[in-house]
Amino acid sequence: MIAFHIDRAGSVPAYAQLVQQVREALRLGLLHPGDKLPAVREVVTSCAVNAATVLKAYRELELSGLVEARQGAGTYISGTLGGSADPVMLEQLRGHLRGWVADARAAGLEDDDVRALVTSVLAEPPGEPTAEQRAVESTRTAEPR
């Protein structure tokens, strides 16, 4: 079961924070298909958020196919997101990133510089894959289903 928390200082609306936390938990493999999300009333009392906010978040997750509402039984995870399918690959990528972050820090970058760099690379149009990416791609397709 996932425990939600609401950051009231930021500019991300509360419902979007709930959606984000479910998506993140899916990506990190903390939630799996079949897992139950907390009941609306539970989130209302534990996070002190409006029921409409929780319902809006659950509806949005349902529309994107990540959860399903079962009549009278609650809301259950029904979909998966990206990396959660392959924990080995996720661990590998995390290892690369750890090394990369160490390099960046050694080069004198601060955490905010790193974030800015990652954001700008993510915003680049997808170009030719690098040799490393091609290698990763071939191992992925070679794996039996």
Structure tokens, 53: 């906010």
Structure tokens, 40: 């609306």
Looking at 19, 26, 31, 47, which residue binds other proteins (CB under 8 A)? 47
Looking at 20, 28, 32, 46, which residue binds other proteins (CB under 8 A)? 46
CB neighbourhood size of 25 (10 A): 20
| Closest separation in Å from C-beta 4 to other proteins | 10
What single DSSP character describes residue 29? T
| Closer to other proteins by Cβ: residue 6 or 136 | 6
Report the phi/psi class of residue 72: left, alpha or beta, with left for phi > 0 and alpha for psi in -120 to 50.
Answer: left
Looking at 11-19, 23-31, 71-79, 130-138, which segment touches other proteins (CB under 8 A)? Answer: 11-19
- Give the chain's largest Cα–Cα span: 56
User: Exposure string (b/e) for 75-95, b if CB count within 10 Å is 16 or more?
Assistant: bebbebbebbeeeeebeeeee
| Closest separation in Å from C-beta 5 to other proteins | 11
Looking at 1, 5, 8, 144, which residue binds other proteins (CB under 8 A)? 8
Instruction: With CB under 8 A as the rule, give the number of residues binding other proteins.
Output: 22
**Does 41 participate in binding other proteins (rule CB under 8 A)?**
yes
Query: CA 7 to CA 50: how far, in whole Å?
Result: 14
| Closer to other proteins by Cβ: residue 2 or 90 | 2
| Closer to other proteins by Cβ: residue 63 or 131 | 63
Site residues, other proteins (CB under 8 A): 6, 8-15, 40-41, 44-53, 56
